[in-house]
Amino acid sequence: MNIRARAPLRISFAGGGTDVPPFPEREGGVVLNATIDRYVYGMLRPRRDRRIRIESADFGVALSYGVDETPMFDGKLDLVKAAIRELGDSSAPGYDLFLHSNAPPGSGLGSSSTVMVTLIGLLKEYHNLTLTDYEIAGLSHRIERIDLGLLGGMQDQYAATFGGFNYIEFDAGRVIVNQLRMADEVVHELEHNMLLCYTGATRRSDGIIEDQTRRLEEGGDTLAALRSQKHLAVEMKNALQRRRLNEFADLLDQAWQEKKRMSPKITTGFIDEAYAAARKAGALGGKVTGAGGGGYMLFYCEFQRKHRVAEVLTRMGGQVTEFAFEHNGLTTWSLPDG
């Protein structure tokens, strides 16, 4: 029996950074995001022996070890090893694991956390575990951020698990996922007017987050920008639910201006040039979708000028794509061999 799983990647509209410690514990964080039709896919196929074999198409890496062996954390698929260590059963047979994502690592779409969610979905089914969506997301966060010590926030794990449009609240020891019921015409209009641009460059987000955290402790612009992000997440949610999409686009621009105040590492020369060129061509608002420094940029355009924005970004070397929203979160299913 082959077990399959997929979990969607996300775009973040506002509030990113307020889910990164120590801000949520001190002041409470709020993030507005939505999942899109880009996914992390996984497959688990039981073996007859007691070996675990892992293959990642994205990193071009494969490795194998015994079920009762303790794998070494050496930078090669450590996320996968950590999930297996947490949920594994040394008395069970082995299996093959295969993982693939629609987006490159460091894309700003939450891919590493979505890998973890997908893995937990596969292992939950294989070991017949009963886990709620909150437990899956919380476990994903703990393994990635605490056990492995990888710096980052909490929104990605919950977005990938729950799916759809989410207004997520974070405070000390508690996360509340408010799933938003969006009017069909709002979703259609967002898809009609938005596009993604891959900058062709990624940067490790932990350096940006380290810098942001240090600046938060110093107060000043970073603290003020994070507080503004919270306010903008609320305003953007209200704009979407009231079907005020031009207002939403303007708030998206404001969210980007505030995000850049959190750390000078968030933007680059190319990102600034691409944003200015897109605005001149007809984009009403936009932002980088993740921690910053590269990856994907998101733009909201007047539809009749959207093609001009795409042309300008393409000439600059960006890879422009459209997308649709995905309303389902983590999904698992099984089918027989052959």
> In this structure, are strands 51-56 and 95-101 parallel, antiparallel, or unpaired?
parallel
* 102/20 same-domain check: yes
What interhelical angle do 205-218 and 221-241 show, nearest 10? 110
> Are residues 162 and 258 located together in one domain of the fold?
no
Say what the pLDDT of residue 85 is: 92
What are the φ and ψ backbone dihedral angles of 51, each rounded to 5 degrees?
-110, 145
Query: Looking at 86-90, 196-200, 249-253, 296-300, which range is the least confident one?
Result: 86-90
Residues 127 and 202 in one domain: no
Strands (E), 47-154: 51-56, 61-66, 95-101
Assigned domain for 140 exists? yes
The b/e string for 106-125 (b: 16+ C-beta within 10 A; e otherwise) is bbbbbbbbbbbbbbbbbbbb
pLDDT band at 182 (very low <50, low <70, confident <90, very high): very high
More confident residue, 169 or 215: 169
Query: Of 158, 181, 204, which closes a domain?
Result: 181
User: pLDDT tens digits for 285-302?
Assistant: 999 998 778 889 999 999
The residues that are catalytic are 156
How do strand 319-321 and strand 194-198 relate by DSSP bridges? antiparallel
Q: Does 109 map to a domain?
A: yes
The domain total for the chain is: 2
Structure tokens at 198: 């891959």
Whether 37 has a pLDDT exceeding 80, the answer reads yes
Q: What is the pLDDT of residues 123-162, one digit of tens each?
A: 999 999 999 999 999 999 999 999 999 888 999 999 999 9
Domain membership of residue 330 (yes or no) is no
Of the pLDDT bands very low, low, confident and very high (cuts 50, 70, 90), residue 203 is low
Same domain, 201 and 150: no
* pLDDT value at residue 205: 62
Supply the pLDDT for residue 129: 94
Q: Is 60 a member of any domain?
A: yes
The CATH number linked to 142 is 3.30.230.10
d(CA 283, CA 276): 9
Do 279 and 309 reside in the same domain of the chain? yes
User: Considering the domain boundaries, does residue 334 fall inside one?
Assistant: no
